[in-house]
A = this chain, B = another copy of it.
Amino acid sequence: MRSAISCTLVPVCGLVTDIGRPRLVDGSSAGCACPSSQRRACDPAADPATDESSGYNGRVATPVVDLNALRRGCAHCSLQQLCLPAGIGVEGLQQLDSIVRRRRPIARGESLFRMGDRLEAVYVARDGAFKTVSISENGEERVVGFHLPGELIGLDALGADIHRCDAVALTVANVCEVPFDQLADIAAQVPGLQHRLLRVIGRSVGRDQDHLDMLARRQASERIALFLHGMSERFRHIGQPDSQFRLPMSREDIARFLGLALETVSRGFTRLQDDGVIAVDGRRVAILDRAELDRLAHHPELPEPRNRLHG
């Protein structure tokens, strides 16, 4: 039964892949889930020596064109279409690229920023996943959101210049760090970028509203179905298989995201499995009956067709 879900994620390649057409650039790209362009562009860890020598951020000091630096740049990033660069010209791309810092891999559990920090930069994961959490006065952790590659992290500080959450890596991850002041400056100069920035912010607002929608659903089963539905959509959006994937977060994180007890989440998963809607093995999830999943997420009032496989 276990073998049904063999999809494991290679940690390094993380969540990202190329969307649509894998571009061959370098002979051998075939075997890995990550397209070669990704490997080249987004994985500083692949060539640690070079990275070390060029300093903390990914840019080289020399005016000489560094092939590796170029390859790591926005122009070649597989996330380009999902990220800030989308739709801005070469000029703007260069300007943007010049301020982007590419940080060495973030360890699982490490924080990009913490509650109370001043807003210095916004972040985009190239691969890996993050959660943003806010700790309430009584010490309870509340998951505000999950962030997959291409989704901006750090916008919570936009209102008051102070971060309202911690941003914690759920897996090892590589991120681009974009100093916010400089981003705002460039956005004013490059009209397309301003528009793009607003759009990315807007998508983030949209996700928050989806989250609200989820929490307002009264039944636990609805929230869980909606959560899986949303994750599937987001995986598809970044070019990952949307029918079987590995959730980067624990049951507890999901519970704190959905406002439920973790036992309830666990029970919800098994229930969906019993009903033949999904297959679950720990964090690995396969969606078997998408239509039914959508129905549960959106039209829960209808009595479910009772053809349980084993009851």
Using a CB–CB cutoff of 8 Å, the interface residues on chain A facing chain B are 134, 136-138, 142, 144, 155-160, 164-165, 184, 187-189, 191, 194-195, 198-199, 201-206, 208-209, 211-213, 215-218, 256, 259, 298-299, 301
Contacts and interface: CB of A to CB of B under 8 A. Distances in A.
A209 B301 contact: no
Contacts of A199: 158-159
A209 B160 contact: no
A187 to B, nearest CB: 7
A184 B202 CA distance: 14
A298 B184 contact: no
B202 A204 contact: no
**Residue among A134, A205, A213 with most chain B CB within 10 A:** A205
What copy number does this chain have within its complex? 2
9 closest A-B pairs by beta carbon, nearest first, are A158-B202, A159-B202, A215-B215, A216-B259, A159-B206, A159-B203, A208-B208, A137-B298, A188-B188
Q: What is the predominant secondary structure among interface residues of chain A facing chain B?
A: helix
B159 A205 contact: yes
A170 to B, nearest CB: 19
A160 to B, nearest CB: 7
